Chain A
Amino acid sequence: MLNYTLRRLMFTIPTLLLISFIIFLILDLAPNDPTGNLPLTIPPEVREKIRQSLGLDAPMYIRYLLWSQQFFINEPLNLLNQWFGWCIGDCEGRLRVSSWATRSPVVDLIAERMPQTLWVVGMSYVVGILIAVPIGVISAYKQYSWFDQIGTFIAMIGFSVPTFFTGVLLIVIFSVWVPNDSFFWLPSIYDTTLEVVDWDSFMLQVRQMIMPVMVLGLFNAAQISRFMRASMLDNLSQDYVRTARAKGLKEKTVLLVHVLRNSMIPVVTVIALGIPQIFGGAIITEQIFKVNGLGQLLIIGIQGADIPLVQTLTFLFAVLIVLFNLIADVLYGLLDPRIRYE
């Protein structure tokens, strides 16, 4: 297993290098001009100077190699310096991947935005799983009951109605219709500056998280509960379930030990594969509720033609996807004794 994991990790290196190059190529092909948003009064010569200062006059492969050097070598060294105080090489003058728009290092921007995204989107994923697993289990066990029918109906709606609709709908209901002084009123804007210091500020934090978390959580729950239900149904009709009943086990044991354990194998994989979406996939929801997380950062970067920012963020999402694919495979092997990677 360890051997397999290490071998897979080795394989991710060329994969990721290739992905980073493709992302760079695609962004380079896009008709983007970082000076495009500057006032028209700036003369073309000055624009050209600005472009030169950003290194845009160099050939594509040089720019790619420079980005690679900055991202793969300078940034990790810088992290070592920041975290442990180890200084390797030139710690002060080292070039880092910088945003064209803000001039600050991209990695610092990402580090700033990460907590909001992890809190809101991560929490919504956890909420989604906590809702989905019991619903999936009960729906399958009581197939075609009213519970299952309602669950199926809600899952269909949750899955087919986009989050930009449910998000706005919730805002209209809980921030507009519900009066300001009501207990049920919820803020429509996520305030990142809020610091949790006491009970009141904690409750404020909870209140401002409810809507984005529920919008995303229900969307995730709709998806996962369908997987859970299908997987449970697959297993409920298996012979080993009859064996477990014939042994005289309680129905609860049969369901929650024998069937659930088997049903979780594919669902855990689906959940693991969905985790990269926590980082990148909630772009729209973050935009609606003004959560200044990674998704919003990416949108700002795209709108401002901030190529280094977009390149780095997109590549980080790719890293996460490759990594969680590996984690899903390893989990699969851990959960299912029949699968051993030798």
Chain B
Amino acid sequence: MAANDLTKRPALGQRSASLRRRHLLAALFKACCVGLTAAAVAVLGLLIYQVAADGLPWLDMQFLTNFPSRFAEKAGVKSALFGTLWIVTLTALISLPVGVLAAIYLEDYAPPSRLTRVIEINIANLAGVPSIVYGILGLAIFVRFMGLERSVLAGALTMSLLILPVIIISAKEAIRAVPASIRLAAFAVGATHWQVVRAHVLPAALPGILTGVILALSRAIGETAPLIMIGALTYVAFVPAGPMDEFTALPIQIFNWVSRPQQEFHELAAAGIIVLLVVLLSMNALAVLIRYQGTRK
């Protein structure tokens, strides 16, 4: 190549021309990136603006404390909001221990056998299965076979199945990220395997694990399809008092209002979306906070 031939350097004019072209290319690429990012943000902004413009006028205390109604002015999301909180709490209680223990086993205890590899590949695949499939599974196992009917518990178990693969994968990543020196040091002073995991690996991995769990739960909050599949109700005028009570959830209520013919209900749906977004963002804020607390120690 001519570029390697140091005795025949290109003339000054030529050199600056190719330099200019390369700078131009770089600037063009940057502009492309900025443009595409801006487009994505603009679409998001437009969506949020649309939802806020429609929904904010309807958002007041009454909207949070009333049950659904055929009168848009009187309708509220109380049963749906409480249903969603019930589902998320129960789902967290079920999926957190199961998911984290599975991740610890796979990372720390499982022998590196073919079986382990098959399990890991399957978990990764399960993370990509459409949510409606989990709904069908939940309907067959929890609702019909275990006879849980359309209870909060049946919903939470279905949601747990849905998010377990995500939790296990993110918990595994967090555990793997714990420096080997910490483990080795603990083993060196005579700690048992259990002591190493409990006192060193788990605390060090906790912020990462919790971030993964909360992001997974945020996904569960927005899911409608599996809940509709297991037969979650639409009109419920009471707050669930226990895990065996019937329930409805925010996405179902929103879905129902959007499909109504009256414009006011479409605006109510927007107000419901704002409530859902606030719950979602609070959970994400919690994730950030936990991560921040964890890394400060």
**Interaction A to B:** no
Residues of chain A at the chain B interface (Cβ within 8 Å): none
